[in-house]
Amino acid sequence: MGEPATRATFAYIDALAIDAADNLYVGDSWRIRRISPNGKISTFAGTGAYPGTTSNAGGPAASVGICPGALAASNDTLFATDSCSPSIIAFSLDGTKSSVIGGNNGYGSSGD
């Protein structure tokens, strides 16, 4: 799974999370990368290219518009804020995108 994390380069790190298996998730400019406990890095979601989309594909094909301000891993789910959409995206830890909250009405708030 991936190359050694010590060889990786990052564009813009803006969020971190750790899951129960000690994988480290790194929000890195329009993608989320996963560093395993054995030090290997791989792309968990997104392409790293602007602009992303909030397609329903999972894994690297998700092409999420990630400008993550926060990541949180809980109960086998990774939540990522996508400030480009703006939305909250939930992923199963196998990389499957499970839901997108918000992102359809542009900036602002509603529904509260």
pLDDT (tens, 9 = 90+) of the chain, 112 residues, equals 678 898 888 888 888 989 888 999 998 877 888 999 999 999 888 777 665 554 555 555 555 565 656 777 787 888 887 766 677 888 888 777 766 777 655 555 555 5
Other Cβ atoms within 10 Å of 62 Cβ, number: 27
Tokens 């909030």 identify what position?
Answer: 54
Residue 33's φ and ψ, nearest 5 degrees, are -110, 150
The CATH number given to 3-100 is: 2.40.10.500
pTM: 0.77
Is residue 71 within 8 Å of residue 25, measured between CB atoms? yes
